[in-house]
Amino acid sequence: MVVLNMQPLAVGQVMKQSESILDIKDLTVSRSGKVVLNKVDLAVKKGEFIGLVGPNGSGKSTLLLAILGVLKAQQGTIDIYGHKPMSRNILGKIGWVSQAAAVMPKNVRITVRELIQLGTLNSRNMFLRRRSIHREKVDRAMEMVGLEGVGDHDIARLSGGQRQRAVIGRALASEAEFILLDEPLVGIDRNSRNSLLKLLDKLCHDENKTILMVSHDLAAIRQTAHRMIYLEESIRFDGPTQEFPDLTSLAGLRGIEPVHGHEHETNISNSIMIETDNAELSKKEEE
């Protein structure tokens, strides 16, 4: 059986870290004329580790893109570190890691160190001569993601899990405090997945990073996140992980009625449920 042994957030820690870094009010976002996010309210405090779940097409990636400022709000406001998204004042404070970011074309020849170093560049320091500052940041980021031994390896030689770590390392090298991850667990094996979750947990507890992670792997995310959000156009659940509803209650939240006397679960054919079943199954295999 896999035991991830995550550290619970101590009461004092919550008090200390209660600074609000993201405040979303009444957010509505449309894409191609269709409302994708509808009246979303969300507040995130420094040091939180939040799992964002929901079926395919429910607006998870859209929410991250709106926070990043890539997608504009039709209605409502997003306040991040007291500023609007994409403001110069928050440059480098937010890191974005997508699954696609770790899947690089085979013909891209770049070492782990070089990739992570890209994270240190921004419009303010691009022409800075003091390379030593960049080097320190890169060394520290490589250490944080446990890749210090493979800095000179070509990215193509890494495993999926290591590549994902390298992409997280790039975000850390920019000294991002708030890290948004969009399905970072897809396509990596179980051991890599567990060590990646441990790494994120550690970043949250030891480095005081704030994490908002989208995943379809409900079992994995439940073991790690302190707080869960279930999004389907609007937020249907937001609360402590231990209070996250079971599959039947979740179906109720989604307004799915049992058909022909079957249980709710059998009627839900979306990936969150399927992935959950797989994760639950693989856990059982290990036991």
Q: Which residues bind ligand ATP (CB under 6 A)?
A: 31-32, 36, 54, 56-62
Task: Map tokens 């509505």 to a residue.
Answer: 28
Task: Report the residue from 17, 30, 61, 75 that binds Mg ion according to the rule CB under 5 A.
Answer: 61
Least distance in Å: CB of 258 to ligand ATP? 25
Q: Identify which of residues 178 and 230 has a Cβ nearer to ligand ATP in the complex.
A: 230
123 touches 91 (CB < 8 A):
yes
Least distance in Å: CB of 149 to Mg ion? 33
The token duo for 186 is 């897809």
240 binds, among Mg ion, ligand ATP, none (CB under 5 to 8 A by kind): none
Q: Point out which span in 38-46, 52-60, 153-161, 266-274 binds Mg ion (CB under 5 A).
A: 52-60
Q: Identify which of residues 61 and 111 has a Cβ nearer to Mg ion in the complex.
A: 61
62 binds, among Mg ion, ligand ATP, none (CB under 5 to 8 A by kind): ligand ATP
> What are the helix (H) ranges across the chain?
11-16, 60-68, 99-102, 112-118, 131-144, 160-173, 190-206, 218-224, 247-253, 264-267, 271-286
Cα 246–Cα 56–Cα 4 angle in degrees, nearest 5: 50
C-alpha 177, offset from chain centre: 13
Q: How far apart are CA 14 and CA 73, in angstroms?
A: 30
Residue 193 one-letter amino acid: R
31 binds, among Mg ion, ligand ATP, none (CB under 5 to 8 A by kind): ligand ATP
59 binds, among Mg ion, ligand ATP, none (CB under 5 to 8 A by kind): ligand ATP
Q: How far apart are CA 158 and CA 192, in angstroms?
A: 12
Q: Point out which span in 59-67, 120-128, 139-147, 173-181 binds Mg ion (CB under 5 A).
A: 59-67
DSSP type of residue 207: S
Least distance in Å: CB of 60 to Mg ion? 5
Q: Which residues bind Mg ion (CB under 5 A)?
A: 60-61
